[in-house]
Structure 1
Amino acid sequence: MAVVSISMPDELLDRVDEFSEEHGYTGRSEVFREAARNLLGEFEDRKLEERDLMGVVTVLFNYESTTVEERMIRLRHEYDGLVASNVHNHVGDHYCMELFILEGDLETISTFVGKIRATQDTLTVDYSVIPVDEVGPFANAE
């Protein structure tokens, strides 16, 4: 098995160590292996391929990190055909939340979420996707 070195803020590493201990992992390596498997498998769901999807992405960041907000604006414009709606909201005294509502295919949504996740200084990135034809009272009606 290869040994990998990564850099991260001390507080994030502390959270990983606490999580590992609280959930019975043998150590942080096991947590990172599981996280990597989950991340890589998220968009490999074959039932979502070749379907129109709706997605919701929420991003939380410190408002003093203006580079994050600038990056969100650039991505919003770069993916204008994917982003159906975008909301910026203040959360507490120091945070901003960016909400993206998406309509598109799996590959495009995956790329968009990946670029958001790769944005330095984001605190959290959460998302969900659902096939459009499974939404509403007439889903799967023939």
Structure 2
Amino acid sequence: MQRVTITLDDDLMKAIDERVATHGYQGRSEAIRDLARAGLLESKREREMSGSCIATLVYVYDHAARELTRRLANIFHDHHELSHTTLHVHLDHDSCMEISVLKGDVQSVRGLTERVIAERGVRHGKVFMVPTETRVETHSHGEHGHHGHAVPHEHLHVKSGG
């Protein structure tokens, strides 16, 4: 086993100490190892996902950070085909949260989300991906949909087991 020295801010250290106390760990090292393993496993699952997906990207950023809002807008404009909608929330005088709904191939969505989260001034970021597939189905919508004629069109379906 190797010994590693890391620097953590007070709030993070407090959260780790609370986890140690509430989960019955023998010490901080054991808790940090478990958290690291869980994070790496989740990251591996996300990297192994392929095909298409629908995703949410939630991030909190410093709205006063130099040119950050312009850089974020440019990133989303560069990937406009992936973005369906974004909710913008003012949290306090310094922080905003955005929740973006994205849809596309996993690699493109991952690339966009990693770019946003890595921007200087983005304080927190998390993506949640759901694997999907598109199927063409033939049916009519509603009582008067297409005058009762069945029309083939695409539907998004969540892949089972994903």
Question: What is the TM-score of this pair, normalised by structure 2?
Answer: 0.62
Greater relative contact order: 1 or 2 (C-alpha under 8 angstroms, separation 6 or more)?
1
CA 1:77–1:33 in 2, change beyond 3 Å: closer, same or farther? farther
Alpha-carbon distance between aligned partners in 2 of 1:10 and 1:67, rounded to the nearest angstrom? 29
- Aligned counterpart, 1:5: 5
Q: Which structure has the greater CA radius of gyration?
A: 2
Alpha-carbon distance between aligned partners in 2 of 1:87 and 1:107, rounded to the nearest angstrom? 23
Question: What is the TM-score of this pair, normalised by structure 1?
Answer: 0.68
CA 1:119–1:44 in 2, change beyond 3 Å: closer, same or farther? same
Please tell me the root mean square deviation across aligned C-alpha atoms, in Å. Answer: 3.4
- Equivalenced residue count is 139
For the pair 1:56 / 2:74, whether they are aligned, the reply is no
| AA in 1 matched with 2:37 | R
Alpha-carbon distance between aligned partners in 2 of 1:138 and 1:3, rounded to the nearest angstrom? 43
1:1-142 alignment, distance < 5 Å: 1-45=1-45, 49-65=49-65, 69=69, 72-119=72-119, 122-133=122-133
Higher strand share: 2
Conserved 8 A contact 2:60-2:124? yes
| AA in 2 matched with 1:130 | V
Question: Structure 2: which 5+ runs fail to align?
Answer: 135-154
Alpha-carbon distance between aligned partners in 2 of 1:26 and 1:120, rounded to the nearest angstrom? 36
